[in-house]
Amino acid sequence: MDRLLVALVACALVGSVHCATGSFPWCYHLPTCNDTTWPTQVPQHCNGSRQSPINIVTADATGDSSLTAFTFTNYDSKTALKKVMNTGRTVKVITDSGVQISGGGLSDHYESIQFHLHWGNGSSTPGSEHTVNGKRYPMEIHIVHVKASYRGNTTQAIEDSNGLAVLGFLIEVDTNTTGLPASWKTLSSYLANITEAGQEVAISHSISLDDLLTGVDRTKYYRYLGSLTTPTCNEAVVWTVFKESIKVSKDVIDLFSTSIHAGNSSAPLMTNVYRSTQPAQPVRTQLAETSGDTRTCYSLGLMALSLLFGKC
Ligand SMILES: *[C@@H]1O[C@H](CO)[C@@H](O)[C@H](O)[C@H]1NC(C)=O
Ligand SMILES: *[C@@H]1O[C@H](CO)[C@@H](O)[C@H](O)[C@H]1NC(C)=O
Ligand SMILES: *[C@@H]1O[C@H](CO)[C@@H](O)[C@H](O)[C@H]1NC(C)=O
Ligand SMILES: *[C@@H]1O[C@H](CO)[C@@H](O)[C@H](O)[C@H]1NC(C)=O
Ligand SMILES: *[C@@H]1O[C@H](CO)[C@@H](O)[C@H](O)[C@H]1NC(C)=O
Ligand SMILES: *[C@@H]1O[C@H](CO)[C@@H](O)[C@H](O)[C@H]1NC(C)=O
Ligand SMILES: *[C@@H]1O[C@H](CO)[C@@H](O)[C@H](O)[C@H]1NC(C)=O
Ligand SMILES: [Zn+2]
């Protein structure tokens, strides 16, 4: 029973090629198994009412003062990335134990188990899962964390409406550079070792999560309650999508869609690995500057004036 559940969860979280037990053999591109079929195949979850990803409409995000800064534990560890694998549907990196997040309006500590990527077909055909005001970004990284009290038991976590906390970072082209940032060039150098589905290789370079998240102000983000974006689509995810993007050179982005296959070396290259956006959800963010302005107006006793002029 345990083994079956573990296999099912592994499928649910990332979609391994060895999804024999539990989940149906879902895919992104064949008409028989692409994301339009998931709600029929797993109606109890994939046809739910808080499915991910979504299009974030920034003007509709409401201010929430509980969305404080995160505390990142061991995000600076140069040995926290253990191995990288081609699952047939994504590139996944297993993280070491002890990598945690807390704060950020989360109710608990959450422990990182893995991160993986979504992409399109080169930097000119974007493939992020979340879109912002309708804009799709070239890539997106998802760092998956499990509520610490479950001690890594993802079976329990996916039954809890906030059992998982996923951090999503959008990736944009760093114009006029090649091979940057160094951390991403290093990570992408492993793609040559996992060109076929099922292959994996240990990470021997010193790269930290902080290195991969370079340049992003991690105090500014969107928050909503959603789901896993792959079957079985469990509605167990507290989503955080950061406002600032990670800037990566075009040549590094392009490596993902040009070097690895969705099966053996005769199978198609892995491209456009993202689920389409799902119905909108309430999105929260840090209190906007405009509300700060409002407070200033009020404190200056200009409320009447501001009403007259329709400002603040
Ligand atoms: C998914 O398959 C359906 C048919 O089942 C088809 O209409 C749709 O275009 C396909 N979508 C993608 C992204 O391949
Ligand atoms: C999905 O849910 C909607 C109602 O929310 C229902 O009309 C539809 O039949 C369901 N689809 C499947 C495949 O269960
Ligand atoms: C991806 O882009 C390449 C080069 O532009 C093109 O040859 C290929 O057909 C594209 N693949 C898909 C699935 O669109
Ligand atoms: C995880 O939790 C489930 C449900 O409570 C339990 O049956 C299972 O034994 C646990 N698995 C592990 C590996 O502890
Ligand atoms: C990139 O290079 C082109 C051509 O050299 C130049 O026109 C453009 O302004 C540069 N863009 C940036 C963002 O530096
Ligand atoms: C990864 O691939 C490179 C280039 O093909 C090769 O030199 C290296 O030995 C491989 N590393 C591992 C750990 O397989
Ligand atoms: C690749 O996989 C296909 C489909 O599973 C199979 O028919 C073919 O023989 C495989 N090719 C190689 C070189 O292993
Ligand atoms: Zn993902």
Q: For 210-263, write each residue's pLDDT tens digit.
A: 999 999 999 999 999 999 999 999 999 999 999 999 999 999 999 999 999 999
pTM greater than the 0.85 cutoff: yes
Ligand 6 centre distance from Cα of residue 193 (Å): 6
Domain contains 312: no
* Domain assignment of residue 15, yes or no: no
Average pLDDT over residues 1-21: 36
**Pocket flag, ligand 1, residue 36 (CB < 6 Å):** yes
User: In this structure, are strands 55-56 and 131-132 parallel, antiparallel, or unpaired?
Assistant: parallel
Q: Quote the number of domains for the chain.
A: 1
Residue 115 lies in a domain: yes
Residue 300, pLDDT score: 44
Determine, yes or no, domain membership for 298.
no
Q: Is residue 106 part of a domain?
A: yes
Task: Supply the residue whose CA is at minimum distance from atom 8 of ligand 6.
Answer: 193
> Is residue 238, in this structure, part of any structural domain at all?
yes
For ligand 2, the distance from its centroid to the CA atom of residue 271, given in whole angstroms, is 29
Return mean pLDDT, the chain.
89
What confidence score (pLDDT) does residue 8 get? 36
Question: Which residues, 6+ apart, have CB-to-CB distance to 300 below 8 Å?
Answer: none
Domain housing 211: 35-286
Q: Does the structure show a pLDDT above 70 at 77? A: yes
Helix or strand or coil: residue 192? helix
The β-bridge relationship of strands 110-119 and 81-86 is unpaired
Say yes or no to pLDDT of 13 above 70: no
Give the C-alpha separation, 281 to 286, whole Å.
17
- Is 64 part of a structural domain of the chain? yes
155 lines ligand 4 (CB under 6 A): yes
What pLDDT does residue 16 have? 37
Q: Which of 172, 176, 177, 250 most suits a substitution to test ligand 5, by most atoms within 8 Å of the C-beta?
A: 176
pLDDT at 89: 97
Which band of pLDDT confidence, cut at 50, 70 and 90, is reported for residue 123? confident
Q: Is residue 3 part of a domain?
A: no
Q: What is the CATH number of the domain that holds 166?
A: 3.10.200.10
As a whole number, mean pLDDT of residues 284-303 equals 57
What integer is the mean pLDDT of 3-23? Answer: 39
The rounded Å distance from CA 92 to ligand 8 centre is: 9
Residue 266 CB less than 6 A away from ligand 7: yes
> Nearest to residue 38, comparing CAs of 236, 189, 193, 229?
229
Is the pLDDT score of 296 beyond 80?
no
